Structure 1
Amino acid sequence: MGGDDDGDLRPPADLRPEIPHPARMYDYYLGGKDHFPADREAAEKVMALSPLVRISALANRAFLGRAVHHLAASGVRRFIDIGTGIPTAGNTHQVAQQVHPDARVVYLDNDPIVLVHSRALLSGTTPESTAVVQADLREPAAILKAPEVREVLDSGQPVALLLFAVLHFIDEADDPHAIVRTLVDALPAGSHLAISHATGDFAPPADAAKGPALYRNASAQLTMRSREQVLRFFDGLELLEPGLVTAPLWRPDREPEPADARVAFWAGVGRKA
């Protein structure tokens, strides 16, 4: 889906509160307030599988902040954030604009629930600094045609393409690696790709299958991938140090803890030459 013609997205008539929603479940993991009983029930079942579920969600959010800050400090002023989720503290534009007040951030998500929250959060910002677009990651060509995205890409400046905790909601049948290649091919030289992705690498096979099973009744399915599968998203890019690591170990701002090496999110940032 592309952006709305009038730029105004009204709240959906039916939020389907009886169906667990991944964005609301993630909000619950992070300690937010934008969720319903069905979301909390499903999230609690997932968290019962491992004490690292909430830790992993928090670690993923912290990685977003460090990665965006690093990219902004490196001179990046243009950000395309796809699959944004329900806004919480430390959103991309807030982090980037602490470094560069003129940083431009385009948020894209295919979920009206998320977009309603995002538009409310951004109601006090200027259109020149932030934009919210309804789009589906499974349709990269439509994303690249969105006027807000074209404006960022046509600037010729390096762009940070952010795919935090979204690719694991893309089935193999939709060829997520081809989707990422299409988007990266459109980026100017000197741009970056930042990814975080859920994994079952650190769980016994039987337990690793239980997480996706609990998402089968949710509005989006979960496909966890191995380190090797996630690494393929960076084909043709120069991985920044320390490479593809668990989320807490990507340029940590504190002393690592033993559990950090088993957090169920791979995280990395690559640069396009």
Structure 2
Amino acid sequence: MTESERPAGKIDPNVPTVARMYDYFLGGKDNFPADREAAERIVQLSGKGGADVREMARANRGFLVRAVEAAARAGVRQFLDIGTGLPTQDNVHQVAHRIVPDARVVYSDNDPVVLVHARALLTGDPHTVIVEGDAHDPKGLLDAAARHLDFGEPVAVLAVALFHYLADDDEVAGIVRTLREPLVPGSHLIISHAYVEEGQSSGERKAGTEEVYRRTTAGVLHWRDRDTVRAYFDGLELLEPGLVPVQDWRNDDPIVAPGLDKGGILGGVGRVPLEAPQSG
């Protein structure tokens, strides 16, 4: 049995998953009643008819597309998308292949629904594969990816809307270090992360949102501040325009719902320097 044929784990339709909730926010149909109920609760908490939540999901997806395009145009021919989520329009391999037709793409996820859908989508694509992997075990995830990618050449590693589902700050910092360790010069690190600046979110809304996510398979939604997310890129060349709200990252026609400038999702792309900095 090949890796792509291995059966996915058990699916419990009664427990919401963040992947299926995100699919619902994007207008997809690969979700269950429990996912829709949880997502609608987030919509209610957001107010404004849920415009912020839905537009933020679309803005985050747009950031992913533009970041992959930037990496591909910079010469990156390999991509590792961690916590890929359910397939939708403009998946990483589709974006990359428009620029680099033979780019190698590895998706990694531990959600059985994601694994089933992705394996069906990728049937017959010789350049793209999905592997089962867990961000809590970044070394194991990299080992699985290394069966398909050459880490002796530049790789773009994507952790898009991933780390805010991990509560331990030290663990996330360690995961980032592990993911960066094998990256050679020219590699890219692409991250987006939920944030709320101090004093910009009502305690009731934040508490309600966290309670909804506690009941999902992720078990958490953990906002971090700008400085914490910025530290994930320390030592990398942070591409212009830097770490900014995802709707503002190289977007000529930004989608900005009322109030999104008070929080939402930050996005940034860091590149491993092509030359080591001079000492002294």
Question: Which secondary structure state, in structure 2, belongs to the residue aligned with residue 96 of structure 1?
Answer: helix
Normalised by the size of structure 1, how large is the TM-score?
0.91
1:41 correspondence with 2:37: yes
In the alignment, residue 195 of structure 1 is paired with which amino acid? I
Bigger shift: 171-180 or 24-33?
171-180
Question: Which secondary structure state, in structure 2, belongs to the residue aligned with residue 108 of structure 1?
Answer: strand
Counterpart in the other structure of 1:84: 84
1:193 correspondence with 2:185: no
Counterpart in the other structure of 2:242: 243
Cα deviations across residues 208-256 of structure 1 (Å, max 9, x unaligned)?
2321221111111211211112112111111111111000000003156
> How big is the alpha-carbon RMSD for the aligned residues of Structure 1 and Structure 2?
1.8
Provide the rounded CA distance (Å) in 1 between the counterparts of 2:153 and 2:54.
36
Superposition pairs of residues 72-111 of structure 1, within 5 angstroms? 72-111=72-111
1:164 correspondence with 2:160: yes
CA contact (8 A) 1:55 1:263 kept: no
In the alignment, residue 5 of structure 2 is paired with which amino acid? D
Normalised by the size of structure 2, how large is the TM-score?
0.89
Cα deviations across residues 131-163 of structure 1 (Å, max 9, x unaligned)?
1110111111112222x4254234x22110100
CA contact (8 A) 2:59 2:255 kept: no
CA contact (8 A) 2:238 2:270 kept: yes
5+ long unaligned stretches in structure 1:
none
Provide the rounded CA distance (Å) in 2 between the counterparts of 1:184 and 1:255.
30
* Identity %, equivalent residues: 48
Counterpart in the other structure of 1:114: 114
Question: Displacement, 1:15?
Answer: 1.9
Query: Would the alpha carbon gap of residues 174 and 219 (structure 1) be closer, same or farther in structure 2, given more than 3 Å must change?
Result: farther
CA contact (8 A) 2:76 2:186 kept: no
Counterpart in the other structure of 1:30: 26
Provide the rounded CA distance (Å) in 2 between the counterparts of 1:232 and 1:255.
25
Provide the rounded CA distance (Å) in 2 between the counterparts of 1:130 and 1:160.
14
Q: Runs of at least 4 residues of structure 1 off by over 4 A? A: 255-258
Provide the rounded CA distance (Å) in 1 between the counterparts of 2:109 and 2:242.
27
